Amino acid sequence: MIEVKNLTKEFSLEDKKFKAVDDVSFKVAGGEIYGIIGLSGAGKSTLVRCLNRLEEPTSGTILIDDKDITSMAKEELLKERKDISMIFQSFNLFNQKTVFENIAYPLEISNVSKSEIESRVNKLLEFVDLTEKRNSYPSEISGGQKQRVAIARAIATRPKVLLSDEGTSALDPANTKQILELFRKIVKELNTTIIMITHQMEVAKDICDRIAVMENGKIIEENTVKGIFAKPKNKRTLSFIENLIEPDESFSWKNLETKGKLLRLSYDEENSKQPVLSNLIKNFDVPINLIQGKINSVIGDSLGYMIVEVLGDNEEVGKVLDYLEENNVKVEVL
């Protein structure tokens, strides 16, 4: 569906070249929700704006349904953009237009008939559960409702691709949950492909099929959500996961003075139900202290994390590490 090859976007800063996007390549299947996560300045927003050429790539290729977006002339690109919609953190609604008129706008400029606009907008209002707000203005509705209007407007032309640039970061948890449920509904009922830009791992884990982690303009890791959580390969990825493991800033294992070895254990749906710590204590002559732990729900599965302190001589600790590996528990010595 979407294939990005060796995409680069350079900016000139004080006579120096800066690569906001640096040789990025990835593929997204039709009907997939693909998350791109990174800190501010990682290059993710520039990347997503290149996908519809709101930013002109310096080099590289973007294929959507085997059509090369990067080689299109302006007129052809404008036509193709009808299949690529975008929503933003700031909603970007017309304050002087009603909810109905905001949703109708892309249809009006596409010369859709008035009767078709009336029919389609009414269906979209029902789809995003805003029928009763039809004649309201943006100033009269909540932030979550504004984003639902923006989404309805974005899918009014029935696009193949929906780009979300921090589409939930301005919302509270309850409204974020509603928007994510709406994204799932869009994929399920409209078969739209969604690329989500976010800095919130808790958002990505709840909805994405796969995640790419960006840093300094590059994709440094890519995997299924379950794979990212179960076996993170990069320190930046691990830091995003740690933020979910340690939501309480008043406590952190990093501040503890310990005498033994600290281990981070991560386990999946299968071995999360096994009495791992109980078996360790029974089978090995080592005291074990549970420092911290949490279960995360990831796309219907449960992934668990524990930080434990293991006391004992190196030989016995080595046996513990071997036992965990044999039982498919990923271990990292901290």
List pLDDT tens digits, range 171-216: 888 888 889 999 999 999 999 999 999 888 888 888 899 999 999 9
User: 38-52, 62-76, 101-115, 316-330: which range is least confident on average?
Assistant: 316-330
pTM attached to this predicted model: 0.77
Output the pLDDT for position 272: 61
List pLDDT tens digits, range 126-149: 999 999 999 999 999 999 999 999
Output the pLDDT for position 249: 47
Phi, psi of 170 (to 5 degrees): -95, 5
CATH match of 246-333 with 3.40.30.10? no
Q: Provide mean pLDDT across the span 90-118.
A: 92
List pLDDT tens digits, range 223-280: 998 888 777 888 888 778 766 654 444 445 555 666 777 887 776 666 666 677 778 7
List pLDDT tens digits, range 33-62: 999 999 888 999 999 999 999 999 999 999
For the chain, the straight-line distance linking the first and the last C-alpha, in angstroms and rounded, comes to 41
Banded model confidence at residue 295, pLDDT cuts 50, 70, 90: low
What is the spatial distance between Cα 265 and Cα 324, in angstroms, rounded to a whole number?
9
Residue percentage of the chain with pLDDT more than 70: 89
Domain 2-229 architecture: 3-Layer(aba) Sandwich (3.40)
Task: Give, in order, the Cα–Cα distances in Å from 54 to each of 74, 78, 86, 285, 312.
Answer: 12, 11, 10, 62, 59
Q: Which residue has the higher pLDDT, 309 or 267?
A: 309
Output the pLDDT for position 250: 44
Q: Which residue has the higher pLDDT, 309 or 94?
A: 94
- b/e map of 177-200 (b: 16 or more CB within 10 Å)? ebbbebbeebbeeeebbbbbbbbb
Q: Provide mean pLDDT across the span 153-169.
A: 91
Output the pLDDT for position 151: 94
pLDDT at 324 over 90: no
Question: What does the DSSP assignment read for 127-162?
Answer: HTT-GGGTT--GGGS-HHHHHHHHHHHHTTT--SEE
Domain extents for the chain? 2-229, 246-333
